Amino acid sequence: MENPGRRVDLPTTSTEAWRSVALSDQEFARIADLIGREPTPVELGMFGAMWSEHCGYKHSRPLLRQLPTEAPWVLQGPGENAGAVDVGDGLAVVFKVESHNHPSAVEPYQGAATGVGGIVRDIFTMGARPIALLDALRFGPLQEEDEEAGRGGCAARAARNRYLFENVVAGIGGYGNCLGIPTVGGDLFFDPSFEGNPLVNALCAGVVRHEHLTRAGSSGPGNALVLIGAETGRDGLHGATFASVDDPEASHRGVIQVGNPFLEKLLLEVCLELLPSGDVVAMQDLGAAGLTSAVVECAHRGGLGAEIDVALVPRRESGLTPYEVMLSESQERMLLIAPPEAVERIAAIVGRWGLRAAAIGRVTDDGRVRVRDGNEVVADVAAAHFSDECPTYQPDAAEAPETVNRRRFDPTTLPDLAPADAPAALLRLLASPNVGSRRRVFEQYDFTIMTNTVVPPGAGDAAVLRLKGTRRGIALALDCNSRYCSLDPSLGAQHAVAEACRNVACAGGRPLAITNCLNFGSPRQPAGYYQLREAVAGLGAACRALGVPVVSGNVSLYNENGDAAVMPTPVVGAVGVLDDVARHATLAWRDGDLVVLLGSDAAPSLGGSEFLATLHQRTVGAPPALDLDRERRVQRLVQGMIADGLLATAHDCAEGGLLVALVEMALASGVGLVLDQAPPPGGGGRTDESLFGEAPSRVVAALRPDRWPDLTRRCSKEGVAVQILGRAGGERLALG
């Protein structure tokens, strides 16, 4: 047994040992039974990482199997570093969203920065050049107190929320800007449930030719394992298990990774240079669980084994033990698999970029992962034990009675809004952090790098980027209404899929596939597992109805705020293709445009609305009903009109309802609007429902009056209701 070292307390076979790496007593017993003995300290650390919630998906794996993952255009589904879809002209878009919630709660700048670095590596590991970043962020309120809500705010909590918010945004910009990858969109939401546990989700998309798409499975016994990039240090130890326990704040010492975006830029370029050479058989990022997960995943995916010598791993500090080397999550590192004769050529190319390459082991044919420290074997376990034998759990699930009561509340029992009070209510909604401008955030990001960005943040419902060398483009959106999900996780998840795809369609993209990041509380609690189970079921139902498979994703559990979980937040990232990128849509209308509401038969509702939260300080009522068939028809209509050059302005109605959507469009264009007809009423004919109620499948579009006949014909063909709202013009928004 190796020396326990001086910086990390190596586990022993005491109860505290396996619990320190987030393993239960039963799981430790299962490990001992699998390998026929008690694990060595290094093996125990490796099992703790690979069987963690973050790597092993213990509570979510059985649920995720329900999701649709296949379609003719899907080139790579779940199981690799990222998903890939065919976008035509021999090109594929590779994309994925992941979380870095727990590290960002402890050290927000580095937590967010290394979250960006990790998701970028997932993309270029597949051979794709990253071209865009998006982020979905959740924070507690930034104000010190909310007197209108009747609750005294805590200045210390608000200050902490502002600290987290400012540094997370700075970390995302600091890393992405240095890499030269534009941050083109995202999603931002504030609620007290996120105090102390912000959500930081990052999506990256890249482009690669089909023939250069790279996987991470080992092949060829005898091939070399080559580690390139940064040297290994002690940062990030136990990062995977840190995100898999109920109280990460109590065990965060030493787990926060430290990023170097300039080094990552070099790593990106060297990897993209190496892959077309044919010298690299496979490639795997060192993310969660570091060298352990990279070696295990490569071996297991290829159905082979691996042997490494940790003494050969380049280090940036002395005294590292084998345990620390195997579990370190030092950033900007990549594991390559290459024929032995190619190692010298690889080292020469890597060296030319100012980086270091080291052959640390080889692929074997015995299916085992063997770790040596010179001549001493410190771990020797079948690769399948780390992955296939990871236990899964389906605990008791029960919806919290308090959630049932909130959902059953009828918002129409509250006083209606007097028409004369509508302007003041609108101004309060526009001042809400969940509705107001995001300019303060996105102006910290580079979003027009290399002229790929056609529709930047704030200009459209989705980002649009051109695919150089073709007429094509892609649309990207990232969405989730956390409030809806807190009231009804299944319906809320369906809304997330529908809204992400609707935003892509409103930009002109034909939705192809989604990626998701499931942010939930503890699955060990019946209410927590219920939310997770129902949300996954909702995702599957919406994806099947809209024809968009899930090709990648991530699960982040144990997101807790004291004794309570954060609002369940299944973030959905959607990717669509534009056959002609010149034919896209934005929020801006033109003077004289006819402004219409598509999907006008979808009755608005106050349930779970921003209006209720802002003006009544209540998150209650059932979220709006979602007719997935109507949603599919509306999206097809809007996307088809844009693709045919008949529509250049489209905006979905989301938080704040119809009147907020109209104001957003007026502000984007600098042109006012006179409403000739009142907005369609809600089910009860109420003013607040009509103006500020929310409903899916509604899109405000603007077009030249002579195109009205074309629109009505298409609406009739698709079975989509349409209503004229008024004409754009002047400098004011007039309600009649």
Q: Which residues are identified as catalytic?
A: 54, 100
Phi, psi (5° rounding) for residue 431? -85, -10
Residue pair 368/305 in contact (Cβ under 8 Å)? The answer is yes
Phi, psi (5° rounding) for residue 679? -60, 150
β-pair type (333-338, 282-285): antiparallel
Q: How far is CA 488 from the centre of its chain?
A: 20
Residue with structure tokens 């309600």? Answer: 735
Nearest-angstrom CA–CA distance, 684 and 693: 11
DSSP labels, 637-704: HHHHHHHTTS--EEEE--TTHHHHHHHHHHHHHT--EEESSPPPP-TT--HHHHHH-B-SS-EEEEE-
Give rounded-to-5 percent helix, strand, coil for the chain.
40, 25, 40
Nearest-angstrom CA–CA distance, 201 and 347: 34
Token pair for 310: 């940790």
Question: Comparing C-alpha atoms, which of 503, 459, 455 is closest to residue 479?
Answer: 503
Residues found in the chain = 736
Question: Comparing C-alpha atoms, which of 334, 310, 331 is closest to residue 321?
Answer: 310
Question: Comparing C-alpha atoms, which of 198, 130, 131 is closest to residue 169?
Answer: 198
**Helical ranges in 52-107 per DSSP H:** 53-56, 61-64, 101-106
Residue pair 176/445 in contact (Cβ under 8 Å)? The answer is yes
Nearest-angstrom CA–CA distance, 328 and 149: 46
Nearest-angstrom CA–CA distance, 497 and 548: 9
The neighbouring-strand residues paired with 204 are 96, 133
Phi, psi (5° rounding) for residue 392? -120, 155
Helices 261-274 and 108-124: crossing angle in degrees, nearest 10, is 10
DSSP labels, 194-230: GTT--EEEEEEEEEEEGGG-------STTPEEEEEES
β-pair type (199-209, 699-703): unpaired
Residue with structure tokens 């370029």? Answer: 269
Helices 343-352 and 261-274: crossing angle in degrees, nearest 10, is 140
3-state secondary structure 542-566: HHHHHCCCEEEEEEECCCEECCEEC
H-run or E-run covering 428? helix 422-430
